[in-house]
Chain A
Amino acid sequence: MTSTPLCPTAPATPAALPPLGMALLTAALCLPLAPLAQAESQPERGSITLKYLDYKDSQPGWNRIWVHAPSVAVLAPVGENWSVAGSLVSDVLSGASPAYHAEPNPFKIHEHRKAGDFTVTRYLPRGTFALGASYSTESDYVSRGITAQGSFASEDKNTTFSGGLGLTSDQINPNNKVVVNERKNITDLMVGVTQVLSPNDIAQLNLTYVHGTGYYSDPYKLLDNRPRNRNQTAMLLRWNHHLDSTDGTTRLSYRYYTDTYHVKAHTLTAEYVQPLASGWTLTPMLRFHTQGAASFYVEADGSGYPVLPPDYAPGRIVSEDQRLSAFGAFTYGLKVAKQLDKDWSMDVKVEQYQQNGAWRVFGTGSKNIAPFDARMIQLGVSRLF
């Protein structure tokens, strides 16, 4: 073997190349050798996913609502640049929701809801455009919606802007005939930006504005009468960080929410995705939510009855809905997923939710409501085709 005749420190690019060298390099640099971050692209394979959700909520001494919901979702690429997606869910709900605050409603409900949605997505070199429709029906509630969404990536594909518009029209006919043929119409707008910060970091900011008019009250709650206009604004900030040391990913998010009912809420979520050997992935999750009460929320007294304003008269705006009270809530979750082979995967997700007025931060929580727990178990199996 001859020793190298080249200077051992020969750089790949001399400081300045003569015109021919520059021309050769420039020609090559016109090739797509750098668009490394990928714009959202058409899925290469379709998938079908079956899920089964079992949800149960309770408060001390009372199991409130039980929901069993099987669902199926299909996603399929069509041609070179399109995909279609659809899902169907059928849920059966049984139990009773509170009559007011956390007081048991004597009327048991058994409700069967069927819902479906369908989305068509067009993939462009630097963006996507999607149109969707949804429909849901149960004995007292019919909801119809349409959505349009788009995304557009910068030339280096490190920044993606997205936007969406949705229109929903609901028709409400409570079984107790408190109201007949009520309506609720909702328009929602979303704008967002996603930025790749480094090979290991991606951040997203989404702003959502929802304008709604119509019947917002709960017909099965006594005295419940809410404003017919509700505008909601939310800001969501997300940050995903990949850890080279463990090959895991942290997902942190913060959401601020406010609406014209004067509910203000903060939600912090932390998830950690850890891939393990043999196709296993573990994802523990912790979420904390805290909110202030709606301005027309009426507190409960020590025996569980609403404390109505002294000048209360029928028709006045009031609500005793626990969801509009001031509280803090924790959600703990764990998802275990396993890739079985190149086509099949399955997962199990368990979440436990605990809500308590005493846990509110940035103010005092609503008093005299029983703590509220919910537990959710979801099984999923998915196949690529």
Chain B
Amino acid sequence: MSIAAPATLFHTPFEAMASRCEVKLNAPTAAAAQRYADLAIAEVKRIEHAYSRYRPDSVVSRINAAAGGKSAVLCDAETVSLLDYAGSLFAMSDGLFDITSGVLRQAWNFKQAKVPSPSRLKPLLDLVGWARVERDGARIRLPQAGMELDFGGFGKEYAADRAAAVLMDVGVTQGYVNLGGDMRVIGPQPDGSPWAVGIQDPRRAGQVIATIPVSSGALATSGDYERFFEHKGRRYCHILNPHTGYPVAHWQSVSVLAPLSITAGSCTTIAMLKAADGAAFLAQTGLMYLTIDAHGQFGQPPA
């Protein structure tokens, strides 16, 4: 076996899912790299379109539009598997990971920095509840008008895994897919060393607080800094507890390293939602993680 010459990795930035995204990959020629990147980008955009709440023809829009109606909406196999996944996460998170909770965002306007009143939240909380969603095989029905599904909780991570699968399928062995910070690594750098993935400092925008070496698998981070406002000295972030309707407040950020991007992302979200119990939840997963609590203290798996 000969020693391989250091291969060039090709880098393609793009915009999708309202995020800055990029793929980095090995390929025999620049033309092949462009073709591979186009395949990955097309897959990300396919998922973005298929599960967008803003496109009237998306399956999510069809399900939401039929809420409270008589008939159930028939879903394709991929949507069924994503709904199954959402159901599994709902069960494993004691009902905190709930894809019907997106409706709560109607009460939280992060531009106006206004804390909604309990009377504003109450009718929206009544619309939250995965347990009430009716499913029969490939059919789904939201029982109450106004109820909404939102795949935003894992759509980006799912897209990162699918894009990586597309690239691996055409023979890519090195590089990564990065969708707005959700990082799915396909293989190490050409010299065999891991990628150093930076973790955002939750209190200093644009600064890296730690780097994690990743050779394979995925690293995801959720934080209270992505969208938030402060009111009377308190921070209100975009991650909303489906039981109270209020933003979570225990962690500044949670990062998880897992084999799949969707697993890493789901764990960070559940840990954020579980607040003080999040550390115990993460420890029970057996995955590697890094938490930064409200005082800026690091936490990681018990030795």
* Contacting pair B85 A6 (CB below 8 A): no
Answer whether residue B69 sits at the interface, using C-beta atoms and an 8 A cutoff: no
Q: Which residues of A contact B (CB under 8 A)?
A: 1-14, 16-21, 23-25, 27-34, 36-37, 125, 199-200, 244-247, 275, 277
Answer whether residue B257 sits at the interface, using C-beta atoms and an 8 A cutoff: yes
Chain B: residues with Cβ within 8 Å of the partner, total of: 54
Q: Is the interface of A mostly helix, strand, loop or mixed?
A: loop
* Contacting pair B81 A24 (CB below 8 A): no
Which of B60-68, B114-122, B160-168, B221-229 contacts the other chain? B160-168
Answer whether residue B279 sits at the interface, using C-beta atoms and an 8 A cutoff: no
Answer whether residue B208 sits at the interface, using C-beta atoms and an 8 A cutoff: yes
Cα distance A32–B161 in the bound complex, in angstroms: 10
Cα distance A29–B81 in the bound complex, in angstroms: 10
* Contacting pair B28 A247 (CB below 8 A): yes
Cα distance A6–B209 in the bound complex, in angstroms: 12
Cα distance A29–B215 in the bound complex, in angstroms: 20
Cα distance A95–B259 in the bound complex, in angstroms: 69
Answer whether residue B89 sits at the interface, using C-beta atoms and an 8 A cutoff: yes
Which of B16-24, B123-131, B236-244, B261-269 contacts the other chain? B261-269
* Contacting pair A1 B207 (CB below 8 A): yes
* Contacting pair B92 A247 (CB below 8 A): no
Cα distance A3–B211 in the bound complex, in angstroms: 7
Given A12-B214, A31-B158, check contact A25 B28 (CB 8 Å).
no
CB A124 to nearest CB in B, in angstroms, measures: 11
Cα distance A378–B168 in the bound complex, in angstroms: 38
* Contacting pair A4 B210 (CB below 8 A): yes
Residues of B within 8 A of A32 (CB): 77-78, 81, 162
Given contacts A10-B213, A247-B32, 14 further A-B contacts (CB under 8 A): A1-B209, A1-B210, A8-B194, A8-B213, A12-B214, A12-B218, A17-B287, A19-B284, A23-B92, A27-B88, A28-B260, A32-B77, A36-B166, A244-B28
* Contacting pair A14 B28 (CB below 8 A): no
Residue of B at shortest CB range from A13? B259
Given A31-B82, A247-B29, A247-B32, check contact A5 B300 (CB 8 Å).
yes
Answer whether residue B217 sits at the interface, using C-beta atoms and an 8 A cutoff: yes
Answer whether residue B170 sits at the interface, using C-beta atoms and an 8 A cutoff: yes
- Contact with B285, one of A1, A21, A247 (Cβ below 8 angstroms): A21
- Report B67-107 residues with CB < 8 Å from chain A CB: 77-78, 81-82, 84-85, 88-89, 92
Cα distance A275–B82 in the bound complex, in angstroms: 38
For the complex of A and B, list the 8 residue pairs with the smallest distance between their C-beta atoms, beginning with the closest. A12-B217, A36-B169, A27-B88, A21-B286, A244-B28, A21-B285, A17-B286, A199-B171
Given A4-B213, A36-B168, A37-B169, check contact A14 B288 (CB 8 Å).
yes
